[in-house]
Chains A and B, each alone.
Chain A
Amino acid sequence: MAESQTKAAILERHRANELLRAATYPVVQRTNRDLSIEYPTIPPAGAIIEASVSALQQGQTHYVDVPGIAPLREQIAAFLGGRGLHAFQADNVIVTAGVQESRFLTIQMIGDLFGSIALPQVAHPGVRKAAGVRHLEIRHLPANAGKGLLPSLDAIRTTLQAGCRLLYLESPSRLTGAVFSQADVEQIGALLAQYDAAAIWDQGLAPWVATGHYASLAAQPAAAQRVAVLGEVWPGVGIDSWQLGYLAANPDWVAPMRSQKQIMSICTSTPAQYAALKAKDVYATTHDGQLEELEWARSEAVKLTQAAGVEPLPGSVVTLLAVRTAKAETTLRSLHERGFEVGNGADMGAPGVLRFAVMPDTTRQALQCLVEG
């Protein structure tokens, strides 16, 4: 076929879009040697499967409401309310086809309202990819090593002073697990009010922070209407690959996101949503135990790295351990040779950082590669 100029132009436009072509997070297979995951999961309980199948057998195989079935939105709103996010009711919630869809909807549709958005230098690669789908004016929030590669408050203030009124923040960081402290969150909330600004707050890893040590920006009374939150639905109880996420925001932002959700996929899959209704109960009985076990495993892994003279980056998420090493490439090769996958900070804006998932049995083995240098 003679070369198509139309196709060539499309492909050139795509090639030039570095954001959209940002590294795709690796496709992992759930083995205990795959330490690139953000958190572990367990096989879905029989009760979860039965709940989903029962719904399907009773006819729930059709389109459902665009923002998600009402009982699930109510569950999510209650979950958020239980963590101090009282601004969100069921009508403020959209059930999405996974956390990446939450990222996309918030970044593109709220970004469109504000005209520009500040993205963290260090973030899940899906953040840049979502921003790259359609042109947005983007500013960057530099990472602060002392804050576990989260942006500093000064960087946030500078960005707002420069006129950008929408921030995207991860807390916990998807790379290091670092969180903004209560004091940080109060100050960010004050800055948003001072500059009439807003924030998209990825709190998806918050369930994996030891109890009592997490502060959400959306829980700040002054900031609640200025913040959209997003995350995964009932993580770690076996429905993670069924692709369910959520977002919650004020009504003025929910409306365009709901419309866009309808345009993109009409609704989220029914087997996943009905499974999630039961997954809540399993989460309630298993999550604390998972947290406790992983907290211990992480502390053991930290001791191992410290004994080898490597200080982990600050992080509060018990499922992750991030380290900076001058030998990242050789360590990665060594890990691959031994059958391990880990998260590469280079894919998230932080070359030289490796992220290990905390598994009770295999993380220590993988860290040996790091220790052996």
Chain B
Amino acid sequence: MSSERKKGTDLLYSLIAQARTYPDAIVLGRGDPDFDTPAHIIATAEEAMRTHGTDYSPPEGILPLRQAIAERIAHVNRTEYDPETEIVVTNGGQEALFLMVVAAIGPGDELIVPEPNYNTYNDSLRFARGVKVGVPTYAAENFRVDPERMRQAITPRSKAMLLVSPNNPTGGVIPPEDVRALVQLAREHDLLILADDIYDLLVYDDYVHLTPAAVPGGKERTLTLNALSKTYAMTGWRLGWVAGPADLMARVRDLKAAINGPNSIVSQYAGLAALTGPQDDVIRMRETYFRRRRMVMDALNGMGIPYGMPQGGQFVFADISATGKDCVTLAREILTEQHVLAYPGSAFAPGWDNYLRITFLQPDETLREGLERMGKAMKKLGAGGEAA
């Protein structure tokens, strides 16, 4: 087991396990929406169990679902994909991420990764025996992915750049002008782009999400992942996808067939229902996330804890330097004393020891209580007081 994994994913799972030992635990760490899957999706899944329960699927997923995904991408991301050859259905965004990395990166190849980043990218790169070249982002710049810093990270072994927007864990959204500049950079240096759009419908205020594949010259060199987990509260169904140019997607399809074959037929029909059915629940959930985001920001302001502006996503990345503690120690203390779980920033990249990632994926009252308990812990550490 790599030491990096022990400090990353394994650390998070150990915190989750500890939280489970407290009956009154409030989890503000994991990216699992508290909402249950909308009832109409479950109802359609039930019907599918009866009428399609023994149907087989090709490894890339049933065509009606791929068609619905193509329509979704066209509508939301303004990018056209051929559902026959340019979309593969996956076991959640997690598998889509793994497939993208393994498809694009070979032994010794470098992937340029803005940091901090979702730790599974590190794990997937290790599997592919690739090399991560981290590019720092800064809270003072709202975690901007600076094209010039990305350019300086390019070496002869660079094969791709990772663009996650909104970013996990920072919530930073890459503004359209930077997306265009990064696509141009990729073109100039013949890099692929691995684009993670999983939070593309959770962008706040006036921030704008632009997917790299929608930029002229982007689509032919971009693999893009997305999933239904976050937007439709379908984490347990494991339904995501990769979209990309047909030649690269042939490789993705072969990898999918080799790794686990087709998705569950039931999950696929549930996904079809989610994408083609009423969207009222999605709108309602999104409005709730907007409100809760404000709650977390206000609470952190009350604690005197600064944070990067959460431009998108389902979390706030808070700077806990004022506590004098590193993030792992602080996370354990808050969990042990107050039974509230937030994720340490160092789990997402080395050097982020002064940050905690706080999700707002609990019912309002629970979230409020969790923030109050966290506030008590912060006050005890002398980090209280209104933020400037």
Contact = CB atoms under 8 A, between A and B. Distances in A.
Interface of A: 1, 4-7, 10-11, 13-14, 20-21, 24, 27-30, 41-44, 49, 52-53, 56-57, 59-64, 66, 96-98, 100-101, 104, 126, 129-130, 132-135, 238-244, 255-256, 259-260, 262-272, 275
A27 B124 CA distance: 28
A59 B233 CA distance: 11
B257 to A, nearest CB: 5
B151 to A, nearest CB: 16
B209 interface: no
A132 B191 contact: no
Given A21-B254, A42-B54, A262-B13, 20 more contacts: A7-B247, A10-B103, A14-B250, A14-B251, A27-B58, A28-B56, A30-B55, A52-B49, A61-B236, A97-B260, A100-B257, A100-B259, A133-B255, A134-B127, A240-B54, A242-B264, A266-B238, A267-B236, A270-B237, A272-B264
B37 A56 contact: yes
B260 A1 contact: no
A49 B49 contact: yes
Q: How large is the interface on B (under 10, 10 to 19, 20 to 34, 35 or more residues)?
A: 35 or more
Nearest to B260: A101
A61 B56 contact: no
Name the residue among A6, A27, A255, A260 with the largest chain B CB count within 10 angstroms: A6
A61 B233 contact: yes
Interface of B: 1, 5, 9-10, 13, 30, 32, 36-37, 39, 42, 45-46, 49-50, 53-59, 91-92, 94-95, 98, 102-104, 106-107, 120, 123-124, 127-129, 159-160, 190-192, 217, 220-221, 233-238, 247-248, 250-251, 254-255, 257-267, 270
Contacts of A129: 254, 257-258
Q: Is the interface of B mostly helix, strand, loop or mixed?
A: helix
Given A269-B236, A271-B237, A5 B95 contact: no
B239 to A, nearest CB: 8
A33 to B, nearest CB: 14
B95 A265 contact: yes
A41 B54 contact: yes
Contact of B91 (A29, A244, A265): A265
Nearest to B34: A62
A244 B49 CA distance: 15
Given A27-B58, A126-B258, A265 B190 contact: no
B254 A49 contact: no
A62 B236 contact: yes
11 contacts: A10-B251, A20-B254, A61-B233, A61-B235, A62-B235, A66-B13, A241-B53, A243-B264, A263-B94, A263-B127, A275-B266
Contacts of B91: 97, 264-265, 268-269
